[in-house]
Amino acid sequence: MEEISAHALKGCFDSSEDEIWIPDLRHIIWPNRDFLGWIHPSGHLGYVVLVSPQDGGLTGVVMRRLLRSSARVRLDMCCLCHHVHRLDGTAMFTVTEKGSQGRRTIANVVCKNLDCSLRLRNLVWTSV
């Protein structure tokens, strides 16, 4: 993807600007990204920004993140990049469906740091 400014990132979310935390963008290697994903420093929110292949428009999604930990050895597969993680490599991300007044949510198991683009390019070291 091409570089996106912090101002443009903040503008692509439905949520109010106060709820959106933007990371330091100076260290991002944009051509290595199919989408931009990052985690709020508190760890409870994940952000994803997608670029439309048709018109280049940006769409931002804020998700709640629930880390999944277990004492048992367990394999989990990310539903986006299909990377298989052993222990604590994934998290459950949920989004409330629009118009449902908070009654319906969509949940998926995804790489816990939303670094799927880097995993697809084998740019993240992993033990599995």
Q: How far is the CB of 85 from Zn ion (least distance, A)?
A: 8
x/- track of binding to Zn ion for residues 41-80 (CB under 5 A): -------------------------------------x-x
Binding segment for Zn ion (CB under 5 A), chosen from 11-19, 23-31, 42-50, 116-124, is 116-124
Binding segment for Zn ion (CB under 5 A), chosen from 6-14, 19-27, 93-101, 109-117, is 109-117
Q: How far is the CB of 22 from Zn ion (least distance, A)?
A: 21
Measure the CA–CA gap between 17 and 3, rounded to whole angstroms.
Answer: 20
Run of H or E including 59: strand 58-67
- The nearer residue to Zn ion, 51 or 83, going by C-beta atoms, is 83
Minimal CA–CA distance to 104: which of 93, 89, 94? 94
Do residues 93 and 80 make contact, with C-beta atoms less than 8 angstroms apart?
no
Do residues 34 and 28 make contact, with C-beta atoms less than 8 angstroms apart?
no
Measure the CA–CA gap between 112 and 42, rounded to whole angstroms.
Answer: 13
Residue 9, interface with Zn ion (CB under 5 A)? no
- The nearer residue to Zn ion, 21 or 35, going by C-beta atoms, is 35
DSSP 121: T
Query: Given the rule CB under 5 A, which residues bind Zn ion?
Result: 78, 80-81, 83, 111, 116
